[in-house]
A and B are shown apart, each in its own frame.
Chain A
Amino acid sequence: MGQIRTKPDSQIYTFEGFGTDKFPNFMLRGAGNLRNWHIHNYEQRHEGYEGLRKALKMEPTAVTGEVKASGLRGRGGAGFPTGLKWTFMPKDSDERKHTRYVVCNADEGEPGTFKDRAIMEYNPHQLIEGMIIAGWAMQCKQGFIYVRGEFKWLVDKLDAAIQEARDAGYLGKNILGTGWDFDLLTYRGAGAYICGEETALLNSMEGRRGEPRVKPPFPATKGAYGQPTTVNNVETLASVPVILRIGGAAYAAIGTPNNTGTRIFGVSGHVKRPGLYELPLGTPMDFLVNDLAGGCSTGRKIKAIIPGGCSAPMLDAADFDCPMDFDAMKARGTMAGSGGVIVMDEDVCIVEAVLRLTRFYAHESCGQCTPCREGCNWLEMVLHRIEHGEGKPGDLELIASLTPRINLRTLCPLGDAACGPIDSALQKFRHEFEHHIEHKTCFVKGAKLTSAMGVH
């Protein structure tokens, strides 16, 4: 086993009033304390494995029913109702029961998103408990946690935590006397953002190239190793023990109707106190950015916010009051995505910011479909020349003609994700692009965001 990190962490995880009824602390218990991860802390201080004990006394379908009643929606990006997803698993014969899988998506790689890492660092048992409950609800025998390759120390930590859970009888044979066997295995990726897409993740976990699969068949029919599989995000699964413990109805009372419970928002960029803040869904964005994260760190005005990981279309000042939930974000033309809020002040060159994000997508495209593979590269080249004062009249029209040829025309949503930032920037900050093309120079005087040296 490798070395388990002991370096102190100076990140912010809390705020005044956190942990009260108004702002319950479900997901960040003990965050910041690197010794918190052990099972005895989880059991004694954080009501650990209570949800599992309750679940194992219930029928599996009743557990799924409880998750449905909670209204929990996936925290990985798409916001799909978790209970509903679980019911897609086939409910049939015994022999299929042996080979259903529940998979945790811990490939966190969306720029702006850093919440799953905190859960695994400080509360790995909450994730493990959630996976066991999910395994019981769907009658699986085996679960996998797919962790991105860079998080090697977290894989080691998860392995150690899984062993603790095994020793305590929560994993392995005949769990808590129910006669049901379930175990967990970690799998480490190797540095590919696209492996966060659930079917690419399954391919990668089978030891293949991380290329998304054609759907249908969906994972619930034919997933890992050709067997019925459910893939859920870390935060989604870690919410499940809370739901079982306090009850689906109590969980559903938090947040807004149809957008229930709490989620971890990560604030990064130009704010005074970047960090992770757990808030009920539907909390207004300016409360998070201004009251909790302290507003702009540079003393200037905030120009743009990307509200849900870098794939979410950006918002300008008119929308900073938006409630942070799946439906409200959608109504404003963006998405709640992964909960990563990226704040940019007025000195940021939007053209350069979009160029950097497009370079990311061009680099991370798996290359299977032509619109994404070629389109992202073209977008990067056009943006590059605009940014470097070589833009031509007509370039913006060229971009506007390219994105509809990528958006919704690819195998997986990475192509769409690449278009989100560009389309929204062109719509809201078009004058910056025009200024670049016309005057061959930047609209603002902020520091450069990209290095001329990079070789990707």
Chain B
Amino acid sequence: MNHPLPPETSDRPLAPGQRLAHSPRATLSADCVREIEALATKYPEKLAATLPALYLAQADLGFAGLEAMKEVARVLDIPEGHVFGVATFYTMFHQKPVGKFHMQVCTNLCCALRGGAKLFEKLCARLAVKPGEVSPDGMWSVEEVECLGSCGSGPCLQVNHEVYDEFLDTARLDAVISACRQGNVPVWGK
């Protein structure tokens, strides 16, 4: 069962699943389980519920780590390997925790032509986080993402799932950051 794993060494590599981060809670909330069970019959085949179920599990446990994957497989009664394969294929399933405000900046060409890459660096500096890391207070994480479908109004920034900010300049950037600080932006998972 859950024996603590020895540290990974070059001659004792861990399996990919063993490298996954653990969430503080091992099981999904009862509500989340109910919602996933309802998904199982929504589509022509049960397997199709994998993606929506992973979204729910990710919101419930904070990120799509080992426990989230195992729980999705258990509730839907589908192979764990399948869930692992799916969860690691898509960039919107995060295998590590993200900040309360996960800031995603498009730096693809159209946005870059209007300063996307610079804004991304500015954002990292302003929040004092490095890409792929979470700030020590758990508030912020930043990610460079590919085209968000706002090329005409770039550069653009998406905060968690909900807010989408376009025509981003330094002033807008500050406004978004303070909106987050003041609690006017839904936090991750909500």
Contacts and interface: CB of A to CB of B under 8 A. Distances in A.
A207 B86 contact: yes
Given A191-B90, A451-B120, A207 B45 contact: yes
B47 A114 contact: no
Interface string B43-65: 11101111110110000000000
Interface in A52-111: 99, 108-111
Contacts of A394: none
A193 B51 CA distance: 16
Given A153-B162, A447-B115, A448-B118, A210 B89 contact: yes
A1 B166 CA distance: 24
Nearest to B143: A455
A111 B151 contact: yes
A321 B6 CA distance: 66
A254 B29 CA distance: 56
Most buried by A among B108, B154, B167, B186: B108
A130 interface: no
* Chain A residues touching B, range: 35 or more
A405 interface: no
B107 A190 contact: no
A450 B90 contact: no
A230 to B, nearest CB: 16
B135 interface: no
B51 A269 contact: no
A451 B109 CA distance: 12
Contacts of B186: 3
A18 B114 CA distance: 27
Contacts of B44: 99, 142, 224-225
Given A448-B118, A449-B109, A192 B90 contact: yes
B164 A207 contact: no
Nearest to B114: A269
A10 B55 CA distance: 31
Nearest to A274: B152
16 contacts: A10-B153, A109-B147, A114-B153, A149-B92, A187-B43, A207-B43, A207-B49, A274-B151, A360-B109, A364-B146, A448-B117, A449-B109, A449-B112, A451-B120, A453-B144, A454-B120
By Cβ-Cβ distance, the 9 closest A-B pairs, closest first, are A190-B90, A207-B50, A191-B92, A191-B91, A451-B117, A268-B110, A111-B147, A268-B151, A274-B152
